[in-house]
A and B are shown apart, each in its own frame.
Chain A
Amino acid sequence: MDYKKKSFFAPFNSLKYLLKDPVTIRYPKENKKTYPEVEGVSPQYRGRHFNDLEKCIGCGTCEDICPTGAIQMVEFDDVKEKNGATKKRPVIDYGRCCFCGFCVDVCTTSSLGMSREYVNNFPTPPEATEDTQGEIISKYFIIRPDLNFSKNQGWITDNNYSWLELKRVVMGIFNPEERSNSFLEIVKGYTKEEAILEARRCVACGLCKDACPIHMDIPEYIMAIFNDDVKESVKEIYKTNPLPEVCGRVCTHKCESVCSLGHRGEPVAIRWLKRYAVDSLPLEEYKNVIANKPIKQAGKSVAIIGGGPAGLSAAYFLSFMGYRITIFEKEAKAGGIARYGIPAYRLPEDALNKDIDFIKSLGVEIKTNTNIDKNMFEKIYKEYDAIIISTGFDLPRSTNLSRNGMENVVGALPFLHDVREFLSNKISDVKITDNVLVIGGGNVAFDCSRSVARLQKMKFGKVKVTQVCLETPDIIPADKEEIEESAEEGVTLIYGMGPKEIILDDKGNIKGLDFMKCESVFDENMRFNPKFNENERLICEATMIIEAIGQAPDYSFIPEEYRSKMKFERGKIVLDENYSTGIEKIFAAGDIVKGPDIVNGIATGLNAAKGVDKLFN
């Protein structure tokens, strides 16, 4: 490109620019309108932060992702306490913040966002000296939770572009046709690849740890699974949980209900990850992974009455402290409610045995088929240095409908017990008819109805189970999965009805049950006190009735002189601060302390073990 000789008029040519609009914009007289809907900066501008304190759970994920270390979690006293949240809230230092918005994109609750405010100027404090000026400036430069800079939303979290993996890895489940005619375990369990993918979702906030009754090191064992180090994972699990196979299947997973990922998506499948870890390590390997030497030699002997989860847990922890443990179990095998209350399709025999075998291998003696009565109790009390009572809730509650001698009306626990015995070929048959009615809305009721469904399918080839509960769908205590899966297996569920009377035919056999409408389950004080409307009735035909409306404790084996000194509240034993019953050498654990829940059983087992150890030190 070369240039031409310029004409004489060329300089005048540029005069035309005098009439043109200038390229630059004379702000503030003029303003270029770039964004159609808003004034000023763009709709998703990354300006200064705002944080909805009510929504924020203090998980600290923003602190972890911050590339500049600008975010610090600070504990605040005036933050309202709520379940599944810490009292910490993010404090952002604008001297370091680079406005990348990563904290917003990983926020687990969408509480943190960025505003469209960016101007950050403030008057120089004239009175400030060198000592005080830092403090004054930090008022403007550090956003604390109690300051809400702006509500003018800019860059906010969006589930469509989430940095967190909001969806769970799908767990393989046998379909209803396959599972409903056998007691095969329903949930297939994660494969290695699936488990690593699921473990990858965890942000290691540790909220689950606080929610777990036994405070398991959940982020740590999930991290170990993510690193494909099952041994390390099992080691972390066994630090706090002696029954991981059981908990990995039937735990009430309070951890998952507080999981920070659950606010925007699905919580991490913590329970199944635990199950994956223990399932993939054979029992023989346990010895190499978990320290099996007692940390000290106490040299004392402890008797545990009841070989359920709480008793086994107490035995596990005490054996590490060097105590000689004897468990007295009235059934043929240890396990308690985990064996005789939970159906095999949720907790298979092998898994339970693996947990118990490991505890046995620590030197714990389990005397099965040993029923404790008052005399025996006195004997044990003299022989042993301490006693832990963990007998559980093993008496079925009844609706008081059945009159004496009425056959075909059974309690939930005896029924489930028989099913378990039938499956392990102890008894040849479980009594069952082709039309069964189950009363109750808890998990145990579902266990019964689903077991019945399976037995009916095996025996008669078709299912006819009706389950009736007092509660409406919003307050039913059972898990959601139970309701869904039982429906798939052919159980008919009727909500909001209470039993009134059993209808008999001429021969005195059961023909059906008369129900009345339940208006409300709880009274003003949220106490269980159902109100019925007798005008709305429903008659269900059935030839067998299973009552699954709760269980009660049995304290008849404790001699009167001890029992009179114990304190009871609503059937449960009240413990003092040393986890003792108030009587020398006698401790208690399990359902009789905290009510029916396996993981609470383990927690109280640990507490009892602590109490025992405190007694001798």
Chain B
Amino acid sequence: MNQKELIEYIKNNFKGIENIKSIDEKQFSITVQKERIINILSFLKLSNFKELALITAVDWIKEEKIEVVYILFSYEYEQQLIVKTYIDRQEPSIESIKNLWEIATMYERDVHEFFGIDFIGNDDKRPLILHNWKDIPPLRKDFDSLKYSNTIFGKFKKDKE
């Protein structure tokens, strides 16, 4: 199946897709409701999107939303697929997909650490990279790395921005 057929196929076989758009000839993205994320991912895994390349997040501070991004790849269709969903920024939580892909445990632990997102079902919340971290999750947009560095290491004489 080429990308067009694939998009048609997904549209016809999965109800509840908010947005589906092509990024380039080898890549397209799907936006779904937060509640549907496990359904769509298991559907996609069954439809030959076997590789989970990455789970990450984007903090849209102005919209008061956090976007959770799942990047999948299909060796069969050679298509990259970006699955996105938006969750509340104040109390960010989403179902864990660790039962679908075992490797998701580590990705989710990583994202939890850097964005403070609670993955329901994934209890491994030990710090992975940031030992003894006491500030807000650092990849959130309201975390100011320069301010942090100035308080921890002392002020540098020339401060841009």
Q: So, do A and B actually touch in the complex, CB under 8 Å?
A: yes
B131 at the interface (CB under 8 A from A): no
A40 at the interface (CB under 8 A from B): no
Distance of A72 Cα from B158 Cα, bound (Å): 8
Distance of A72 Cα from B160 Cα, bound (Å): 11
The interface residues of chain A lying within 8 Å CB-to-CB of B160 are 69
**Which chain B residue shows the least CB distance to A73?**
B158
The interface residues of chain B lying within 8 Å CB-to-CB of A69 are 156, 158, 160
Distance of A475 Cα from B106 Cα, bound (Å): 75
The interface residues of chain B lying within 8 Å CB-to-CB of A72 are 158
**Which chain B residue shows the least CB distance to A71?**
B158
**Which chain A residue shows the least CB distance to B157?**
A72
Residues A59-97 near B (CB distance < 8 A): 69, 72
**Which chain B residue shows the least CB distance to A64?**
B160
**Which chain B residue shows the least CB distance to A70?**
B158
Measured CB to CB, the closest approach of chain A to B140, in angstroms, equals: 23
B23-44 interface code vs A (CB 8 A; 1 in, 0 out)? 0000000000000000000000
Residues A433-468 near B (CB distance < 8 A): none
User: Contact size class for A?
Assistant: under 10
The interface residues of chain A lying within 8 Å CB-to-CB of B156 are 69
The interface residues of chain A lying within 8 Å CB-to-CB of B158 are 69, 72
Distance of A72 Cα from B156 Cα, bound (Å): 12
A380-402 interface code vs B (CB 8 A; 1 in, 0 out)? 00000000000000000000000
Distance of A69 Cα from B158 Cα, bound (Å): 8
Measured CB to CB, the closest approach of chain B to A372, in angstroms, equals: 56
Residues A89-139 near B (CB distance < 8 A): none
Distance of A438 Cα from B157 Cα, bound (Å): 63
B128-161 interface code vs A (CB 8 A; 1 in, 0 out)? 0000000000000000000000000000101010
Distance of A389 Cα from B158 Cα, bound (Å): 49
**Which chain A residue shows the least CB distance to B159?**
A69
Residues A29-76 near B (CB distance < 8 A): 69, 72
Distance of A69 Cα from B156 Cα, bound (Å): 10
Measured CB to CB, the closest approach of chain A to B161, in angstroms, equals: 10
Measured CB to CB, the closest approach of chain A to B96, in angstroms, equals: 38
Distance of A69 Cα from B161 Cα, bound (Å): 11
Distance of A239 Cα from B65 Cα, bound (Å): 40
**Which chain A residue shows the least CB distance to B160?**
A69
Residues B8-52 near A (CB distance < 8 A): none
Measured CB to CB, the closest approach of chain B to A93, in angstroms, equals: 9
**Which chain B residue shows the least CB distance to A93?**
B158
Residues A289-303 near B (CB distance < 8 A): none
Measured CB to CB, the closest approach of chain B to A134, in angstroms, equals: 12
Distance of A69 Cα from B155 Cα, bound (Å): 14
Measured CB to CB, the closest approach of chain A to B52, in angstroms, equals: 33
Distance of A72 Cα from B157 Cα, bound (Å): 10
Measured CB to CB, the closest approach of chain A to B77, in angstroms, equals: 35
Measured CB to CB, the closest approach of chain A to B42, in angstroms, equals: 41
Distance of A208 Cα from B158 Cα, bound (Å): 25
Measured CB to CB, the closest approach of chain B to A357, in angstroms, equals: 41
Distance of A72 Cα from B159 Cα, bound (Å): 10
Distance of A484 Cα from B160 Cα, bound (Å): 46
Distance of A526 Cα from B15 Cα, bound (Å): 86
B69-93 interface code vs A (CB 8 A; 1 in, 0 out)? 0000000000000000000000000
Measured CB to CB, the closest approach of chain B to A98, in angstroms, equals: 15
**Which chain A residue shows the least CB distance to B156?**
A69
Distance of A69 Cα from B160 Cα, bound (Å): 8
Distance of A360 Cα from B44 Cα, bound (Å): 69
Measured CB to CB, the closest approach of chain A to B44, in angstroms, equals: 39
Measured CB to CB, the closest approach of chain A to B153, in angstroms, equals: 13
Distance of A96 Cα from B145 Cα, bound (Å): 17
Measured CB to CB, the closest approach of chain B to A142, in angstroms, equals: 11
Measured CB to CB, the closest approach of chain B to A63, in angstroms, equals: 9
Measured CB to CB, the closest approach of chain A to B155, in angstroms, equals: 13
Measured CB to CB, the closest approach of chain B to A249, in angstroms, equals: 38
Distance of A405 Cα from B158 Cα, bound (Å): 74
Measured CB to CB, the closest approach of chain B to A65, in angstroms, equals: 11
Measured CB to CB, the closest approach of chain A to B147, in angstroms, equals: 15
Distance of A521 Cα from B82 Cα, bound (Å): 75
Measured CB to CB, the closest approach of chain B to A293, in angstroms, equals: 33
B113-132 interface code vs A (CB 8 A; 1 in, 0 out)? 00000000000000000000
Measured CB to CB, the closest approach of chain A to B160, in angstroms, equals: 6
Measured CB to CB, the closest approach of chain B to A432, in angstroms, equals: 62
Measured CB to CB, the closest approach of chain B to A292, in angstroms, equals: 33
Distance of A432 Cα from B42 Cα, bound (Å): 89
Measured CB to CB, the closest approach of chain A to B5, in angstroms, equals: 38
Distance of A77 Cα from B36 Cα, bound (Å): 68
**Which chain B residue shows the least CB distance to A72?**
B158
Measured CB to CB, the closest approach of chain A to B106, in angstroms, equals: 31
Measured CB to CB, the closest approach of chain B to A95, in angstroms, equals: 10
Q: Which residues of A contact B (CB under 8 A)?
A: 69, 72
Closest 4 CB pairs of A and B: A72-B158, A69-B160, A69-B158, A69-B156
Write 4 A-B pairs (CB below 8 A) sorted by A numbering: A69-B156, A69-B158, A69-B160, A72-B158
